[in-house]
Structure 1
Amino acid sequence: MSKQMIDYWYDYSSFDTWQFWVIVGMIIIPLVILYLFIDRKRIFLLGFFGLNIHIWMVYIDAIGTRFNFWEYPYKAIPLLPIHFGLDTSFVPVLFIFLYQWTLIKHKNFYIYSFLVAAGLTFLLKPLLAAHHFMHLKSGANFFYLFLGYILIILISKGITNVFIYLHTKEEKSKD
């Protein structure tokens, strides 16, 4: 199976295709922007939250790919079933900046994250599908993807909140 995946990648998704470079851009550009503009005072909080988003994105995407709910015809790395640029960089960085903005502006994270999830689901994902960066299969639809984003947001923010609570509790016990 691995040889077939690599052969497919060479034929349809390697360095000489524009799709490959779009995916590479989705990996590198957000990380450069993150490096330049992340709030250095909150870097560990934001990084921890972003890592949570990244991990859950990869898990959900791997499950969806494994159960044939969707597929990604173009890949940056041929052996990974996930959309590497979207899951590992673009979406986590987007949510890191959203979290940073809600902390600075004292806005409701959940409302804005649901709006961003809706934008990702109902604007970006159809655009990706139109250009064949992803294909929905086996009865999957964009609403299910939206629910997946909401689940990822809630789990990631919940885990982050638990760690904030434990850290705050420890700091108070030192006083």
Structure 2
Amino acid sequence: MTDSSMQYNEILAVQSQLHELQYKHWLHHELFTYQWWALVVLLIIPWIIWWKLVDKTKTAIILAYGIYIMFVVTAMDAIGSALQLWIYPIKLLPIIPDSIGINWGLLTVAHMLVYQYFPRWKSFIVAESIFAAVLAFLGEPFAEWYGVYTPLQWEHISSFPIYLMKAVIGKWLIERLVFHKKF
């Protein structure tokens, strides 16, 4: 066996131990806590609200925007967690990305509603700026207080431009794809 494969086997063994520890922690300290139930609600209820409010004639484009948001926030959270900038101490399931309850429910639906109700660029940017400020300066501190998010090496103010830019880039991309405009 080469040094590289021996080292990789060590990595796999440590990952297996980590997964086992995470599963035990989830089972005994996260599952069915009030924070866990809140994440379940934040995943499901926004979609019910969205279905009642969505403009059914524009469902496809709004969903495309929502899928973009889901992808980007999941990727950003995976990177932030891997770099230990923040953690999510409560997970819905130990085998899915940490922040699914918030990202795939509340956050995605809220962005889709902003996208629907503020279709013009100027109003969209104003609405997303307000939403980014609410998320960064109220939402994140509340999630921290509630025990579902812990910034380690991250300041809430750093989130503001990221929240805004992902929304603006998403709108730009979707409009280019749907309306076949050249990049």
Report the counterpart of residue 177 of structure 2 in structure 1: 163
Q: Matches of 1:158 and 1:22 in 2, distance apart?
A: 33
- For normalisation by structure 2, the TM-score amounts to 0.84
Point out the structure with max Rg over C-alpha.
2
Report the counterpart of residue 129 of structure 2 in structure 1: 114
Report the counterpart of residue 160 of structure 2 in structure 1: 146
Report the counterpart of residue 53 of structure 1 in structure 2: 69
Q: Matches of 1:36 and 1:107 in 2, distance apart?
A: 26
Report the counterpart of residue 38 of structure 2 in structure 1: 22
Superimposed CA distance per residue, residues 83-138 of structure 1 (whole angstroms, 9 cap, x where no aligned partner): 111111111100111111113x8962111111101101111110111122111112
Report the counterpart of residue 4 of structure 1 in structure 2: 21
Contact 1:34/1:93 (<8 A) preserved: yes
**Structure 1 stretches lacking a partner, 5+ long:** 170-175
Q: How far 1:82 sits from its partner (Å)?
A: 2.4
Structure 1 runs (4+) deviating above 6 angstroms are: none
Q: RMSD value over aligned CA atoms? A: 1.7
State the identity as a percent.
24
Higher deviation after alignment, 66-75 or 142-151? 142-151
- For normalisation by structure 1, the TM-score amounts to 0.88
Q: How far 1:21 sits from its partner (Å)?
A: 0.4
Report the counterpart of residue 102 of structure 2 in structure 1: 86
Contact 1:71/1:135 (<8 A) preserved: yes
Aligned with 1:96 (options 77, 90, 112): 112
SS at match of 1:77: coil
